[in-house]
Structures are given as structure tokens and as C-alpha cells.
Structure 1
Amino acid sequence: MQKEIELAVSPDLINDELAIKRLGAKKLRIAEDRIGGIHIRKRSIDGRSRQVVYRLRVIFYIDESPSPFVYTSALQNVRGAKPVIIIGAGPAGLFAAYRCLEKGLKPIVLERGKAVQDRRRDLARINREGIVNPESNYCFGEGGAGTYSDGKLYTRSDKRGDVQKVLSIFVEHGADEDILVNARPHIGTNKLPHIIQLMRERIIEQGGEVHFDTKLVDITSSSGRATGVKLANGSSIEATDIILATGHSARDIFYLFREKGWLLEAKPFALGVRIEHPQYIIDSAQYHCKERHENLPPAYYSLVEQVDGRGVFSFCMCPGGIIAPCATDQNEIVVNGWSPSKRNNPHANSGTVTQINLEDIPAALENPFALLEFQQAVEQKAFLAGGGALVAPAQRMVDFVEGRLSNDLPVHSYKPGTKSVELQDVLPDFVHRALKGALPKFGQKMRGYYTNEAILVGVESRTSSPLRIPRNKETFQHPQVAGLYPCAEGAGYAGGIVSAAIDGMNCVDAIK
């Protein structure tokens, strides 16, 4: 017999299975020796009171032994099967390919960037020399933007598809089983590349294809039906089903659509800065203590505030993390954040952004590219303010709010370096005014947050795509091109690794 109950467990006991059994036996009103084993199904941290506890959903096996977790995908060998071209090897593309193997379709994955291990050299050059390879960087390459920017798997996409399936496929390829349990699952940039590589090898073993350094230059069609693709190397591939999973930074795809006269539409996105604190400040605020308990992970936060009707919110928070340079061109500054699996760096960073609506840029009501051009202009302005070589414009938090140049900047994690500037000269007026109004209010919600020990680094601008490629809600196909499936973040239908993976699988399921 199995019983699932909720328990509150102190950090001292979280790794003590016997203590958890005792607590469960007491709540179930049974003898301890009747419990053959336990399985923690969900785990989260509750810091709402002074005493921080873990909230557990635990399955107790009463008068029986637990069954071990086993997940193995039922994949088919697809050599000679119907081909599906997948543009992009990010989470949407890889999971679409995986779903093809389950359905007996042959995925042909085309990735403009490099294999996951080969990307490391280009990322090292970005951080060391400030030189961006426009085809291989933090955004482009196997695994997409998520591979080298954290591997956070937290999502609210349960209604879109099977979140547990996505997590289980990661576990099948080497991720820790904890991602099936934690309320905020996270793999870590140090572990995710190997997992992505194993997924790719599995796809190839089953008869799929994965091609790197292979850039799309055209999508061909006839009589309103996709017929294939043309590549930068001069070759062509024919297929009547094409999944477009290129990510939010592949701007050339949007221009290709404009050239072909295919429908696009402007989409709201968010823009702001990345804010970094010493991790101990966040730990102290969230755990109500001077020093974090050894069984508690570095603390995270989620903050939101309204300023004159405009929402300001934290985004992609990275405990124990690093701020990364995520530009895809040499003359722009784009920042993001990531954490290793142990989250053991001394800093905590988070994007802090405000919504950019179509009404903010009046031209967007007529020109679908107006928000993209606005986004690009801010990134280029940040590059000029930093002085080149990916040096980012930055300012201490209180100095920013009070409108004064910082005399110096705190120690931070952004490797290309920072330059002290007044960020109000870099950010659009309505963006910096919203941020200035929100940050002191965030400090009222979380003690210690509003401090000059925190640094603001600009700009956080690739929160999502500023353009959407429309698709039919039932068929997932572009309204003008049958067989073309706009997918995930680049098309405006996802917002993270798991939601993108689910969208990739859903697109495959729509193929007849």
C-alpha cells in the first residue's frame, strides 16, 4: 500500500531518511517498521516564517518495498523514414528530434553553430578578448542559449504538455534525479553540455541526422506548401515538413520572412538590466539568518512591482551565479546569467526588466520590425557606452536611483569588464524611470536588497523575441505555408528550456 502525505522538515533533517520515516509514521499513525521505503516526489523551501523548512510530498510504501525509478524512451530506428527538417538544435529542436524518433519520423537537425564541446573555445574568446563569433556564441550552437546559460528547468507550462516527460528524458541522459523532485529544478552549465551531447548521439544512433556549421539561407515552397531548405554551403535538402526552432536571437530568419512576404507580427518583450548582489545578502534576507544553513541551497528571489501602471519584475534569477556576455554581434551588449550545478559562486544575479508594449513604440503598430529595431538600438547604445570589447555599462544600485555616477564599482562576475556610467543615458526613458521607481520598493519587500553593494549591468534585452511568427492554433503551421511549423522562443511560443522542449514535441505531434 502507498500513501502520499506532506511533511514539513527542518534543514537539519532533510538528508536523514530515518527521521523522515519517523515523521511520516507519526502522521500516518502507523508503526515505523511497516514502512518499507519512501520516495520524495516534490521538495520545496518555505521561508515565509522565521524558521525555514522544507516542504515535502512523500510517498510512503507501507508493508511493501519501493519500486526503483526507471525511464527509457521507446524510440524507433528511422533510417529511410519520412524526413522532418528541424532548423536549430536548441531545446525545441532536440526534443522535436527526439519526438520524431518516437513517432517513426527521421529528424534532420540543421544547426548554424558548433557542437556543444566546440562552442567552449568561442565562449572563452568572448570572455577573454571580447570577440564574438556571430555563428557560435552563448545563443547559437548545440543546445541553444540554455546550454551555457544555466539549464534552469523551472516552468509554468504544465498545461502545454508533459513537463515530467521532458525532465525524465534529461534524467535518462545523465541529469540528477533531483530535477524530478525539486520545485525549482536546475541542471547547471557545467553538467548540461554532456547531457546534450548524449541526446544528440542517441538521435544519430536511431537514424536521425544532426549537422553543425550548417546555416539556413532559404525555405523553399510551392503552391503554399513547404518543399525544403537551401543552405549557406550551396546545398539543398527536400522535405515537406519543416520545424523552425531557431531561437529568439536569429534575426536573419525574420528578415528572410519579410523578403518572402510571409506573415510576421510585432510582439511585446521586456528590457532592463541584470542586477548582481553578494549572495550572502540574498541568503540573509530569504532565510532570516546571518549564515545560511549547510543543508540550504543559495537563496533565490522573485520580485514584481507596478510603477505608474508599468510592471517591473525579476527574471531568470541565478543564485551563486555569473553574468554572461550574450551578444550575437560584435557591436552590441547583451547580458544574461547562469549558475553551475552547485551554485557556489559568491554572487547572485537576476534580470530586472520592464515590459515593452507595442504602444511604447508607435511605429510597431504598423511595422512588425519596429520593436526588433528598438531592441537592437538599445544594445548598440550599451556597446558604445561601454567603450568596446564587450565592456558593459554599469552602476551601483542606489547611485542609479539617485541619479549620480558611481565613483567605483563593486567586485562582480562579468568577465569582459564594466565601465561606470549613468545608465539612464543608456536605457530608454520609460525603462529607467520604471526601474528607479521599483528598486526601492523591492528593498521594502526584501531586506538588504536595496543597497549600493549591488551592481546594475546593462543591458538585459533578450528576454523573449520582439517578433512572433504566426501559426494556426490547431495545426501549428504557418497560415501561408503548409508544412512549416514556427516553434518555441524564436517564433514567440515559449519562454525557457522546458516550455521550448514541449513546444518542439507538440509541433512534431501536429505532423500528419
Structure 2
Amino acid sequence: MQKEIELAITPDFIEDEQHILSEGARKLGLSPKRIQGMFIRKRSIDARSRQVVYRIRVVFYIDEPYTPEIIRPIIQPVHQAKPVVIIGAGPAGLFAAYRCLERGLKPIVLERGKEVRERRRDLAKINKEGFVNPESNYCFGEGGAGTYSDGKLYTRSNKRGDVQKVLQIFVQHGATSDILVDARPHIGTNKLPHIIEDMRQTILEHGGEIHFNCRVDDILVNFGKVEGVRTADGENIKSEHVIVATGHSARDIFELFRRKGWLIEAKPFALGVRIEHPQEIIDQAQYHCAVRHENLPPAYYSLVEQVNDRGVFSFCMCPGGIIAPCATDKEEIVVNGWSPSKRNNPHANSGTVIQINLDDVPNALEDAFALLDFQRQVERKAFDLGGGSLVAPAQRMVDFVNSKVSGTLPENSYKPGTKSVDLREVLPDFVHKALRGALPIFGKKMKGYYTNEAILVGVESRTSSPIRIPRDKDSLQHPEISGLYPCGEGAGYAGGIVSAAIDGINCVDAIGLS
């Protein structure tokens, strides 16, 4: 017999299996001898009261032995199978390729950037020299933007598909099984590249293809039907099915659609800054303590407030993290955040952003590029005010609210460097005003948040794609082009690693039904 119950366990005992077993037996009214095994199904931290506890859902095996569930992937060789071209090797593209193996289709993945390990040299140049390779950077390359941007797997996309399946595939390729249990699963930028490499090996061993340094410059269409793609070196690759999984920063793909006269549309996105605090401030506020318990992870937060009828919210919060330069072209500043698996850096950072709606930008209903052009203008203004070499404009938090240029800036994790400026010169007026109104309110919600020890670094602008590539709700194909499947963040249908992976799976399933 199996019984699943919830227990509240203090950090002192969260790693003590005997204590958990005893607590379970007590709550079930059983002798501990009758429990022959257990496993934790879900684990989360409850810090609402002064005593922080782990809330865990535990399955106890009563009068029967514990037998762990073994999930074996059902994939098959596809060397001679029907080809599916997948543009992009981010999470949407890689999980689409893996799903092809399950569905008996041959994935041909075309990635403009480099293999995940080779990307490191280009990232080092970005951080040390301020040099951006437009084909290989934090956004472009194997694994996509998420590989070197944290590996957070938290999602609200349960209705879109099987989240657990995505997590299981990560575990099969080397991720710790903790991601199946934790309420806010996280792999870490230091570990995710190895997992991506293992996924690549699985795809190749079963007959799929992955081509790096292979930018797609054209999608071949005849009489409204896809026939394949043309790469930058002039090679034509034939396929009746093409999945466009290029990510939110592949602006040349949007330009391709515009040149072809294919339907695309402006889409709201969010824009703001990345805010960084000393991690100890966040720990003290969230855990109600002077020093974080050794069995508690660095604390995170999630904040939202309405100011001037606009939502201001934290986004992609990185405990123990780093602010990273994520520009994809010259003369632009884009910042994001990431954390290693241990989240053991001294700072915590989070995007803090405001949604940019269609009515905020002139002609957005008529011009699909209106919001993208707006995004680009802000990024270039940030670059100009930083003074070059990816130095980012920045301001202390209280100084920002008081419209005061900071005399000095606090030590921070952004490696190319920061320059003290008045961020009113960077941010659109309505964005600046909403942020100014929200930050003191956030300080009332979370003790210690509103402080001049915190730094605002601009700009956080690639929260999602400012353009959507439309698709049919049922077939997931572009409404004008049969066999063309807009997919993932770049097409406007995902917002993170897991949701993008789910969308890649869904697109392949749609091909299987066509």
C-alpha cells in the first residue's frame, strides 16, 4: 500500500531521512517498522512565517517494498526517415529534434552559432573586450539563450504540454533528479552545457543531423507549400516540414518574412532594467534571519505592483547570480542574468520590467516592426550613454527614484563595467515613471529591498519577442504557408526553457498529425 502526505520539515532535518520517515509514520498513525521505503514527490520552501520550513509531499510504501520508477526513452533510428528541418538549436529546436526521434522522423537541425563549448571563447570576448560576434553570443549557439543564461526550469506552462516529460529528458541526459522534485527547478549555467552535449549525442546517434555555423538565409516556398531552406553558403536542404525555432533575437528571420511579404505582427514585450542586490539582503528579508541556514538555498523573490495603470514586475530572478551582456549585434546594450548550479555568487539580480503594449508605440497595429524598432532604439541609446565596449548605464536604486546621478556605483557582477548615468536618458518616460513608483512600494513589501546598496543596470529588453509569427491554432502551421511551423520564443509562443521545449514537442506532434 502507498500513501502520499504532506509534511512540514525544518531546514535542520530536511536531509535526515530517518526524521522524515518518523514524522511520516507519526502523521499516518503507523509503526515506523511498517514503512519499507519512501520518496519525495515535491519539495518547496515556505517562508511566510518566522519559522521557515520545507513543505514536502512524500510517498510512503507501507507493508511493501519500495520500487523506484524507471523511465526508459522510446526512441528509434531515423537515418532513412522523412526529414524535418529545424532552424535553431535552442530548447525549442533541440526538444523538437528529440521528439522527432520518438515519432520516427529525421531531424535536421541548422544552427547559426557554434557548439556549446566553442561558444565560451566568444562569451569571454564579450565580457573582457566588449566584442560581440553576431553569430555566436549569449543568445546564438547550441542550447540557445538559456544555456549560458541560468537554466531556470520554473514554468506555468502546464496546460501547454507535459512539463514532467521535459524534465525527465533533462534527467536522462545528466541533470540531477532534484529538478523533478523542486518547486522551482534549476540546473545552472555551469552544468547545462554538458546536458546539451548529451542531447546532441542522442540525436546524432539515432540518425538526426545537427549543423553548426549554418545560418538559414531563405525558406523555400512554392505555391504556398514549404520545400526546404537555403543556407548562407548557398546549400538547399529539402523538406516538406520546416520548424522555425530561432529565438527572440534572430531579427534577420523577421526581416526575411517581411521581404517575402509573409504575415507577421507586432507583439507586446517587456522592458526595464536588471536590479542587483547583495544576496545577504535578500536572504535576510525572505528568511527572516541574520544569517541564512546552511540547508536553505540563496533566497529568491517575485514582486509585482500596479503603477499608473501599468504592471511592474520582477522577471528571471537569479539568486547568487551574475548580470550578463546579451547583445547580439554591435552598438547595443542588452543585459540578462544567470546563476551557477550552487548559486553561490555574492549578488542576487532580477529583471524588473514594464510591459510595452501596441498602443505605446506609433503605428504598431500597421507596422509589424514598430515594437522591434522601439526596442532597438532603447538598446542603442543605452550603448551610447555607456560610452562603448558594452559598458552599461547604471544608477543606485534610491538615487534613481530621486532622479539623482549616483556619485559612485556599488560593486556589481556585470563584467564589462558600469557607468553612472541618469537612467531617465535611457528609458522611455512612461517606463521610468512606473519603475520610480514601484521600487519604494517593493521596499515596503520586502524589508531591505529599497536601498542604495542596490544597482539598476540598463537595459533588460529581450524578455520576449517583439514580433509574433502567426500560426493556426490546431495545425500550428503559418496561416499562409503549409508545412511552416513557427515555434518557441522567437515566434511568440513561449517564455523560457521549459515552455519553449514544450512548444518544440507540440510542433513535431502537429507534423505527425498532418
TM-score, normalized by length of structure 1? 1.00
Verify: 1:38 aligned to 2:38, yes or no.
Answer: yes
Verify: 1:463 aligned to 2:463, yes or no.
Answer: yes
**Corresponding residue for 1:353?**
353
Verify: 1:96 aligned to 2:99, yes or no.
Answer: no
Structure 1, residues 127-167: CA drift from partner, whole Å, max 9, x if none? 01000000000000000000000000000010100000000
Letter in 2 for 1:230: R
**Corresponding residue for 1:384?**
384
Query: Post-superposition shift, 1:38?
Result: 1.0
Query: Post-superposition shift, 1:66?
Result: 1.6
Q: Distance in 2 between matches of 1:289 and 1:109?
A: 49
Query: Post-superposition shift, 1:366?
Result: 1.4
CA RMSD of aligned residues (A): 0.5
Query: Post-superposition shift, 1:363?
Result: 1.5
Query: For residues 179-328 of structure 1, what are the structure 2 equivalents within 5 Å?
Result: 179-328=179-328
1:259 counterpart SS class: helix
Structure 1, residues 348-371: CA drift from partner, whole Å, max 9, x if none? 000000010001112212111000
Query: Post-superposition shift, 1:37?
Result: 1.1
Query: For residues 422-433 of structure 1, what are the structure 2 equivalents within 5 Å?
Result: 422-433=422-433
1:493 counterpart SS class: coil
**Corresponding residue for 1:434?**
434
User: For this pair of structures, how many residues does the alignment match?
Assistant: 512
Q: Distance in 1 between matches of 2:68 and 2:182?
A: 18
Structure 1, residues 393-444: CA drift from partner, whole Å, max 9, x if none? 0000000000100000000000000000000111000000000000000000
Range with bigger deviation, 356-365 or 293-302: 356-365
Structure 1, residues 193-245: CA drift from partner, whole Å, max 9, x if none? 00000000110000000000000000011111000000001111000000000
**Corresponding residue for 2:416?**
416
**Corresponding residue for 2:480?**
480
Q: Distance in 2 between matches of 1:120 and 1:241?
A: 32
Runs of at least 5 residues in structure 1 that lack an aligned partner in the other structure = none
2:364 counterpart SS class: helix
**Corresponding residue for 1:503?**
503
1:365 counterpart SS class: coil
1:465 counterpart SS class: coil
2:246 counterpart SS class: coil
Letter in 2 for 1:133: N
Query: Post-superposition shift, 1:56?
Result: 0.4
**Corresponding residue for 1:171?**
171
Structure 1, residues 88-140: CA drift from partner, whole Å, max 9, x if none? 00000000000000000000000000000000000011001000000000000
Q: Distance in 2 between matches of 1:474 and 1:375?
A: 31
1:438 counterpart SS class: helix
Query: Post-superposition shift, 1:68?
Result: 2.1
**Corresponding residue for 2:453?**
453
Letter in 2 for 1:397: M
Q: Distance in 2 between matches of 1:182 and 1:242?
A: 35
Query: For residues 115-154 of structure 1, what are the structure 2 equivalents within 5 Å?
Result: 115-154=115-154
Structure 1, residues 435-462: CA drift from partner, whole Å, max 9, x if none? 0000000000000000000000000000
Letter in 2 for 1:120: R
Verify: 1:399 aligned to 2:402, yes or no.
Answer: no
Q: Distance in 1 between matches of 2:218 and 2:288?
A: 56
**Corresponding residue for 1:108?**
108
Letter in 1 for 2:238: E
Q: Distance in 1 between matches of 2:164 and 2:130?
A: 39
Q: Distance in 2 between matches of 1:66 and 1:454?
A: 49
Range with bigger deviation, 381-390 or 362-371: 362-371
Letter in 2 for 1:119: R
Residue identity over aligned pairs, in percent, reads: 75
Letter in 2 for 1:299: A
Letter in 2 for 1:482: S
2:424 counterpart SS class: helix
Query: Post-superposition shift, 1:69?
Result: 3.9
TM-score, normalized by length of structure 2? 0.99
**Corresponding residue for 1:67?**
67
Q: Distance in 1 between matches of 2:424 and 2:31?
A: 65
Q: Distance in 2 between matches of 1:348 and 1:358?
A: 32
Letter in 2 for 1:438: A
User: Structure 1 runs of 4+ off > 3 angstroms?
Assistant: none
2:50 counterpart SS class: coil
Q: Distance in 1 between matches of 2:70 and 2:141?
A: 31
**Corresponding residue for 1:22?**
22
